[in-house]
A and B are shown apart, each in its own frame.
Chain A
Amino acid sequence: MKKVIYFSLLSVVIGVLLMGCGSDEVQPRAINEETDKCPVCNMSVMDNQFATQVVLEDGLSHVFDDLGCMYVWLDENPDEEIAATFVRDYNNEEWIRSEDAFYVYNMDVKTPMAYNMISFEDQASADEFIAENEGELIAADALADHDWEMNHEMMEGHGHEGDHGHGEMDSESHTEEGESTH
């Protein structure tokens, strides 16, 4: 009789443990700059605020060097079973679920693939960035409708770009954070 009780207790304990495993939040993985490559543009993924990540149901994850690359990938792979998508806070580089983030589109911010979209963990820091640098606040659910295009000004002809972009920036100090990430 005792054995039966022990076994039933044990199975309950194991069951609870297994349930605990199942309800675990999907976690983003760390980025390895040496080996991680963006599946869209082939560039090395730097461990910085522009990196994004898609975690699939089967546990695989893809990391991207630019939010725009992730949306290109999502667009090209509609049949993938996605567990979660993550972006990073522009200031503290913490991973956040992409649906909880607030986005700012600013042509002056140099992102690795020039999609010029950055992410923030709360609206206050996004507003703060806009107050300092201008830009357009974009809600998470509006991102899919965003026209993901790289800002390369190639349409305007070779070598004679307009004066758009970098208006805010002191061209000598050239202190944008995105600069070092290309």
Chain B
Amino acid sequence: MKITYILFLSLCLLLFPNSISAERPSLQAMINEAEAGGTVMIPPGYYEENITIDKPLSLIGERDVTINSCENAPVVKIKSEGVQLSNVLVEQCNEDNGDLAAVYVTGDQHHLSNLEIQSSQMGLQLFEANQIVVEESTIMGTRKENGVDLWKTNDTTIKEVKIDTILDGIYMEQSHRNTIVQNVIENARYGIHLMFTNDTVIEQNQSQHNFTGAMVMEAQNVLIKNNDFSFNNQNVNSQGLLLYLTSDVVAENNLFASNRVGVFIEDSSDAAIANNIFQSNTIGAQWKNSSDNSLVGNTFNGNVNDTQANESANNIIKNNYWDAALKLDIDGDGVSELPHAADPYFMALVQRIPEYQLFFQHPGITLLKQVFNGPEDELLRDLEPSMVYASSENGQKNDKQIILWFVDVVFILVSFIFIQKWRRSL
């Protein structure tokens, strides 16, 4: 008798949750039933389906809402205009189609917030969309495809999005007047990647531990301000920021720390690089075939090589602080009387055969450099180097300094005690 009861109970338990999910309408059915302009609150649950939102609608997860799909289609597809999607976890697990995005957005004026996207392919794709806002979200990928991919998408803001383990963090092509602020991008090939994209604002982002912090290619009128491009040093071609075929780029108050190359500027003109901190990079700023740019008021501190340049004449370089420069200020105006020059000889040498980097600072190279000195007009020269060191506002560094001070004090105390003991024992 008992056994029958137990069997009956366990059968009930098995059936009970199933009966609930069977009664629960599908997400798509809820969307279809809702009127345009209305709001759908999604009850907590795990929804295994692909949904399409094709009318103005607010779709908000109450809590613990997961939408999952491994089908060959975006998990969430947003069309029309004025769609709001919020507080939802989206899982894309398709392994075959590399062009597939977890969330695909087209149309205008959508608002996406508090999303958690986990994708085996692309995270969020904005395709011919305008005036979109994406904020306070996370995107986690598998390094195969881009985190956020913009194609012909304009006037869009991407704010406070944390992007990890993807190909390019934010990839923008033929997309204009977009704003990228306060995002954190790590473990990407390129953190931020612009192609044929104009009037972009990149502000207060953290792009670290990527092959390249930001690749700005074929772009005009880009403002890059108050960003932290650090620790982009894992790859032989790593750099903090790359400008290629750009014009009118302003990069100011950024921190370029511990990169292979802080900033690489190639075939670019009218870039203003001002008041940045270049710290502990292998090469601070590297120039190639770039003219009419300016490098003013930056601080170069603790770099293996401050700058290297070739075929880059007519750049305005002044008032930078170079820790490696010989400095002499006679009239006390905070500007050194001795010009500081960067010789392109070594760079020209390793450009053809990169393996020659092994000879960095080799006495033979120094001798060769003196014998075959580069042409005068190719030298990168700061005629008015600054005497004043702008300190890094990097919190991490301050923390480290405090620890160092603490260790110092402990060492002094311990050695003092030892000396005292030793003297007493004599």
Contact = CB atoms under 8 A, between A and B. Distances in A.
Interface residues of A, number: 25
B145 A37 contact: no
A23 interface: no
Interface in A88-106: none
B235 A35 contact: yes
Interface in A78-130: 114
B235 A34 contact: yes
B154 A159 contact: yes
B85 interface: no
A179 B150 CA distance: 12
Contact of A171 (B106, B199, B235): B106
A75 to B, nearest CB: 14
B196 A180 contact: no
Interface string A145-163: 0000010111000110100
Contacts of A52: none
Contacts of B211: 44
Given A154-B198, A171-B106, A180 B193 contact: no
A107 to B, nearest CB: 13
A161 B171 contact: no
A176 B127 CA distance: 14
A94 B128 CA distance: 34
A176 B220 CA distance: 27
Nearest to B153: A159
Given A153-B174, A180-B145, A114 B128 contact: no
A174 interface: yes
B108 to A, nearest CB: 13
Contacts of A29: none
A150 B128 contact: no
A62 to B, nearest CB: 10
Interface in B137-173: 144-146, 152, 154-155, 168, 171, 173
B237 interface: yes
B127 A182 contact: no
B179 to A, nearest CB: 14
B380 interface: no
Nearest to A152: B196
Contact of B99 (A150, A161, A180): A180
Contacts of A175: 97, 99
B304 interface: no
* Interface-central residue, B174, B177, B189, B266, by most chain A CB under 10 Å: B174
A43 B217 CA distance: 10
A172 interface: yes
Most buried by A among B97, B220, B237: B237
A150 B196 contact: yes
Nearest to B98: A180
Contact of A42 (B173, B199, B264): B264
Contact of B127 (A41, A44, A174): A174
B195 A182 contact: yes
A152 B218 contact: yes
Contact of A154 (B106, B146, B196): B196
Contact of B215 (A43, A154, A171, A173): A43
Contacts of A182: 146, 168, 171, 173, 193, 195
B198 A158 contact: yes
A152 B176 CA distance: 12
B1 interface: no
B145 A35 contact: no
Contacts of A114: 195-196
B236 interface: yes
Contacts of A37: 237
A41 B245 CA distance: 9
A74 B199 CA distance: 32
B99 A172 contact: no
Nearest to A76: B289
27 contacts: A35-B235, A41-B217, A42-B215, A42-B217, A42-B242, A43-B217, A44-B189, A44-B211, A114-B195, A152-B174, A153-B174, A153-B196, A154-B218, A158-B176, A159-B154, A159-B176, A159-B177, A159-B198, A171-B127, A171-B128, A172-B77, A174-B99, A179-B98, A179-B99, A180-B145, A182-B146, A182-B195
Interface of B: 77, 97-99, 104, 106, 125, 127-128, 144-146, 152, 154-155, 168, 171, 173-174, 176-177, 189, 193, 195-196, 198-199, 211, 215, 217-218, 220, 235-237, 242, 244, 264, 266, 352-353
Interface of A: 34-35, 37, 41-44, 60, 114, 150, 152-154, 158-159, 161, 171-176, 179-180, 182
